[in-house]
Structure 1
Amino acid sequence: MANNGKIRKKDSARLTWDSKPRRAPNPKDIEFQTAEVVIPNPVRREELPLSFRDGIIGEAEIDKQKMNRLIWGDNLLAMQALLSQGYEGKINLIYIDPPFDSKADYSHKMTINNNPTLEKGGKGGFERGVEFTKEPSVIERLAYKDTWAGGTDSYLDMLYPRLQLMKRLLAEDGSIIVHLDYHIVHYVKILLDEIFGRGLEKDDIGYRNEIIYCYSGGGTPPTEYPRKHDNILWYSKGRKWIFNTQYRPYSEGTVQRGRTAVKGENAKLNPLGTPVNDWWTDIKKITSPTDPEKTYYDTQKSEDLLTRILQCHSSTSNLIADFFCGSGTTLAVAERLNCRWIGCELGKVGIQVARARLVEQQARPFLIENIGNYQREMIYLTGGRIYEMQNLILKLYGATPRDKMSGLGIRKAD
């Protein structure tokens, strides 16, 4: 296709929008502040990785790079900080489940249980009890406003630089799994093609598969097909990647026959089952409030789903990251599979729920960290838009600016 008289390179199609960031973000020397060293099981205290200053016993400090880390703050800053601390090319698998419904306020109300504890026989479930609704903080509202105020454009503004940082963090044989649905998947796939590669040939870098994750439940609209699937995109960073074939049980009819057709011939059944394809119908979606795994976190994904993804795309002791970790399902599964992990979440409720799950799971010691001063962080994120922040705060509290007073002086609205 011609462009100002020039011939475009083959396969150079790109997604463009007016506010598309022109430069990729760089590492930043941002300090992580340790809020808590969590030791769920005192017996495992000895597993704390320590480094000794000048080899002198008694002058030990925690080696953060060997710790599992739960980071409270904006994932853009968290990833920039991780890059500056030597994590470039160190993460084996990134799974993200970013907000993908442009009509839903994911930072708004989240109903959770105020007494988290594992139920007997449950996997990360929460005891039934009194529920409450958590209103978002000013910071969470600002983040939501930045993500959705401009519709799809501002959503892509948010996601594009983060995907660029994720590529830098991935190991050469690493993979990224992006969980979306019909609202935004078509736009995001083009971004991923641009950043990671289209994978047009068998051994090309980039795109590997789209997994259709099917589920049931909910209503049936009278004028259109029911929407009963999510889209899960898998991209590799390099030309080699980890892939461990997963299996599921044969259908009842196949088991009764005792044989299956393979390439037109009868073959004996594989005791492991049949290889999983890219159409997943055998993993439930958490929808029922009585589900033993339910944490009352609205966007929670099932542990069975994350177990399949992690077992397929990583190995024991690999480093797993989830930069939209929500209630911590990825972290809980990584812990159970004896993988190392990093989780990042902006919402305080998500951090609290994830912490509770890991404590009840008797996880290895881990860190809860934040990114410097949280309010300085948000001023930085908003580009110094202090007056925009001021107007939002005044609106939240039903107040108006006071006359003849600078700064954030306010008076009660009439």
Structure 2
Amino acid sequence: MSEHAAPKFKPADDPTFSLPSSLASLQLPLLGGGLVALIVGVGMAFAAESESMPRFGFSTYLTAYMYVLTLALGSLFFVLIQHLVRAGWSVVVRRIAECFMILILPLAILFLPILFSLFFEGRLFVWTDPNFASAHGLDAKMWATKTSFLNAPFFIARSVLYFLIWGGLAVYYWRGSTTQDETGERAATDRMQYWAGPAVMLFALTTSFAAFDWGMSLAPMWFSTMFGVYIFAGAILSAHCLITVVSYVLQRHGAMKDEITVEHYHDLGKYIFGFIVFWTYIGFSQYLLIWYGNMPEETEWFFARQRGVFGGLSIALILLHWLVPFLGTMSRHIRRRPGLMAMWACYILVMHAIDIYWIVMPEARHLVHENIPNLGGALGLIASILSIVGMTALFVGLGLRVASGNRVIAVRDPRLRESIVFENL
């Protein structure tokens, strides 16, 4: 729709509010192809394991898993925050986020291999190795305090709690939104807005602790109170990118051509730009405080990422995850070009995958200070790419599956008209 075209209000059963058949037909290829790619990629990762990289297989799976989980969590937060602030502009794109937030339920099943790794001492989380403390000369009393939190039963209990909370929130907001499509009940919106505040607080706590458990505890002697916020920043940035890409693809295939306008891409672009800055700010602040403190137990994590291939990757993230998209999305002219915003969103999604790889994979080595120039060689690189691509294909295929049985827009949301006629100042 052009910037000055008159808005068109369609009935709730309009065919452009359904997933186009051309996209619905991709479900099985994505699900089947994604599963095969994931299995092959993880299998190759286990084959690439060696004495110097004993955790490569499970680490590769965790990298792929954390990538799609952050997309789902970012989508859940997008939905929660729109209800919290009673936003009108986002109604036409909110269902896209809802379709991906509900995938937290199948992602709970895909988390099982990570729990399975707990039964193999030190094969993913080194704190599961009973000899870890003695082998590294750690104080027994200090390590006992650490393992009072980092132990398999408590870890499993916390993980179950995270998914119960996320899944409960996702189901509640999904049912409220989709039921409203049929009933048109205004009270559904009021209820979702009422519970949005407590939901955001629960989300913040669980996401932070999950980041500590599944990311930071890979290096159990390292700690950062900002790590949870760093993971959140990447999640919400990537979720806005995902919504932008899916909006563009849906419109290219004939859905919601009159409802999602240049104004919505402009707003999504502003959020993408803002969260690029936020991600950079959190990452830099975390690094600066640890560098300034210069304490061995804090600097170890960054030291491992300043050597070998990860040293180059650290520089690449600064330039390619911050500077390039920062300059690329700064202009209002770019933000009001849907095709260009979709291109930048795809680019940032790739950078987010590299960021997750940078967080997880250095801990796959036997000793973090080992300078291994090629982590797994060509086989390891192919395995990592296949695993991420496969997990992403599964994620998108499941998203299409959800969307195919529902409308791709909240057709009876009381703020739908406000969203359609929305204009940036």
TM-score (norm 2): 0.28
Relative contact order higher in (CA < 8 Å, ≥ 6 apart): 2
Which of structures 1 and 2 has the bigger CA Rg? 1
TM-score (norm 1): 0.29
Greater strand share, structure number = 1
